Structure 1
Amino acid sequence: MGKIIFIGELPLNLIFGRDGGVTVMPCDRIGRAAASLAAAGHSVVMVGEAAADPVGDIIVDYLASAGVDVRSVDRFTEGRSPQRDIFEQPDGTVRLVGYGREPDVEFDTVWPRIDPDDVVVFGSYFSLNDRVRPRLLDLLEHARARKATVVYLPYFETFQVPRVTRVMPSVLDNMELADVIVTTTDDLQLVFGNRDADENYRLHIEFYTPRFYNIDTASATVEKFPEREKTAVGSPGPGGVVDALKSILSTLSRP
């Protein structure tokens, strides 16, 4: 069994409940899946960046305490780690406000060793950021040359991308580099304007790769393409995404 290498943004989330309580949650789905898989015994590496500040310390300590190798997380000094304030609304939705300041220099970090049986997972807005992409694309091309399995998660927050058309060329370039694409139904709506997994597969994804998984958070199922097999995974709601992603990546990392 090879390593699972994650590449993505490392935010700190503050969740403000309707009851007035505040919950601290490090990372988004990529970082939380990395921590969950490492805690389950997988060899996991995180590639990304976090400021050398208290927020960055919380994020990196969270990953390291779960067993994630964080030597490829760049700790920058000129800027602030991304933070998201998430406000629960009475109707069950959330309002999200993002903070942070990127460094002015191009993203750079020490590459992890990549072997043929490794799985390399990338996504989030990090993979669309012009400051990050030159180094990221070099790393992904290296992963492909090393015969690793490359998995793309095309997701981002709406406050990061006010107009999806501006990032679609980068999304499509990322899809071309992927062996496997993993989405949620909400991702499909945001990126392609359509929640139907089968239709999106035929119109937008199959051209790039036949291997596609869609996580439907409402029904807590994962649909695997091209087989069109559905499996119950995790629990309904956004919290089930990490469980589903963990299951998918565990399967992909098996020899």
Structure 2
Amino acid sequence: MRKVIGIGETIFDIIFKNGLPTQAVPGGSTFNSMITLGRLGVPTRFITEVGNDTVGKIILDFMHKNNLSTENVDIFDDGYAQSPISLAFLDENNDARYSFYHHFPQKRLDFLWPSVEADDLVIFGSYYAVDPLLREKIQEFISYAREQNAIIYYDINFRKSHAHEAMRIMPAFIENLEYADIVRGSAEDFETLLNETDAEKLYRNRISFDTPNFIYTDGANGVDIFCRTGHRHIDTPPIKTLSTIGAGDNFNAGILFGLLQNDVSREQLSGLSLEKWIKVINHGISFASEVCQSYENYISPEFVLRYKQEHR
């Protein structure tokens, strides 16, 4: 059976609204995607790292409860390192501004590699995917997954807080584009990294050399898909937003779920029709819309039951 393998950070998010904490939940970009997929019953493996501390134990317990294996988690315990924490401050539009706190050990990502088989899906991204301290380990695993003929999904997710490092990480960013079968980036990502937000120019001048499949998201302004069979803009429905923290992560989960639901192999991906892409992307839009209407970082169990009934 096909599975989804993620590699990325795990962090404990404390969410603030009007200066007061409203929610404390395990998070992290790829982590959020993987929890949503675990709740949907998708076979998953997740490569990450946590501390041997109270926060780490909360995170591991949460993974178990949501069908996400902890077999490939690096649990560090050197008396100094701790599980990372983020403070997320929601503004009047419920968009988040982050402050991060972490103490990592010298040796990181000392993990057991999961087996990767043809047509498995591998998701990676955010600063974790370009961090010079982790680059060698990330590169090794993504290269291995590519050799196994897995579908590689790269979510750029480059935050403004790292804008000053854009030039330094550019070689790793370009290399990630070369590895990827699908690239997903937001308007904010590209403004921060490349000072460009024109989706068509980005595809023509930056993305299409390495992969034909490019998904460009721009919040309430919708989604653009570029592929070998053409280009299409897809509107997103108007919703009342409580938090945008997990929106992109759950959009990614929806895309991966849609590829599995439509039984899209790596071989089929390069020539996938626009009509099939739209079906896949609509899963992403549904998941992102659902998460934006709560303070959770992932789709709810109630939504999972309803969604499964509607998409049998």
- TM-based fold match above 0.5: yes
For 1:247, give the aligned amino acid: G
Bigger helix share:
2
Q: What's the secondary structure of 1:55's corresponding residue? A: helix
Give the match for residue 100 of structure 1.
102
Matches of 2:198 and 2:102 in 1, distance apart? 34
> In the superposition, relative to structure 1, how do residues 87 and 143 fare at CA in structure 2: closer, same or farther (>3 Å)?
same
Query: Larger deviation: 16-25 or 40-49?
Result: 16-25
Shift of 1:90: 4.9
SS of corresponding position for 1:171: helix
Contact 2:163–2:193 (CA<8 Å) still a contact in 1? no
How many residue pairs get matched? 254
User: Distance in 2 between the 1:247 and 1:204 partners?
Assistant: 25
Question: Higher strand fraction: Structure 1 or Structure 2?
Answer: 1
Among 213, 217, 223, the residue aligned to 1:215:
217
Residue 198 of structure 1: aligned partner: 200
Change in 2 beyond 3 A, CA 1:208/1:60: same
| Among 176, 180, 191, the residue aligned to 1:174 | 176
Which residue of 2 is the match for residue 156 of structure 1? 158
Q: Which residue of 2 aligns with 1:47?
A: 47
The aligned amino acid for 2:151 is T
* Structure 1 stretch displaced more, 36-45 or 161-170: 161-170
Aligned to 1:244: 251
* Structure 2 residue matching 1:204: 3-state secondary structure: helix
Match of 2:286 in 1: none
Aligned residues of 1:14 and 1:23 also touching (Cα < 8 A): yes
2-side partners of 1:52 and 1:161: how far apart? 31
Percent identical pairs in the alignment equals 27
CA-to-aligned-CA distance 1:181-225 (integer Å, 9 cap, x gap) = 111222222222122222211121111111111222123x33221
Q: Could you say which residue in structure 1 is the equivalent of 2:129? A: 127
Match of 1:231 in 2: 234
**Residue 32 (structure 1) aligns with:** 32
Instruction: Choose the corresponding residue for 1:144, options 135, 146, 161.
Output: 146
Change (3 A) 1:231 1:145: same
Residue 233 of structure 1 deviates from its aligned partner by 5.6
Supply the AA of the counterpart residue of 2:125: G
1:17 aligned residue? 17
For 2:101 and 2:132, locate their aligned partners in 1 and report how far apart those are by CA, in whole Å.
18
User: 1:234·1:243 contact (CA, 8 Å) conserved in 2?
Assistant: no
Letter in 2 for 1:242: D
CA contact (8 A) 2:51 2:83 kept: yes
**Runs of at least 5 residues in structure 1 that lack an aligned partner in the other structure:** none
Q: How far apart, CA to CA, are the structure 2 residues paired with 1:184 and 1:166?
A: 20
Alpha carbons of structure 1 residues 235 and 114: separation in structure 2 relative to 1, 3 Å: farther
- What amino acid sits opposite 1:147 in the alignment? N
Distance 2:55 2:159 in 1: 20
1:153-191 CA-partner distances (Å, limit 9, x unpaired): 112333345331111111111111111111122222222
Q: Which has the larger radius of gyration?
A: 2
Change (3 A) 1:147 1:234: farther
Q: Does 1:60 align with 2:60?
A: yes
Cα deviation for residue 113 of structure 1 reads 0.7
Q: Aligned partners of 2:69 and 2:253: how far apart in 1?
A: 17
Letter in 1 for 2:204: R
- 1:42 positional shift: 0.7
| Aligned amino acid, residue 63 of structure 2 | L
- Contact 2:16–2:22 at 8 Å: present in 1 too? yes
Unpaired runs of at least 5, structure 2: 265-312
SS at match of 1:69: coil
Q: Please give the secondary structure, in 2, of the residue aligned with 1:174.
A: helix
Q: Give, as a single letter, the amino acid of the residue that structure 2 aligns with 1:18.
A: N
Pick which of 43-52 and 87-96 moved more. Answer: 87-96
Give the letter for the 1:166 counterpart. R
- Aligned partners of 1:42 and 1:250: how far apart in 2? 8
- Scaled by the length of structure 1, the TM-score of the pair is 0.91
In the TM superposition, residue 50 of structure 1 has moved relative to its aligned partner by 1.0
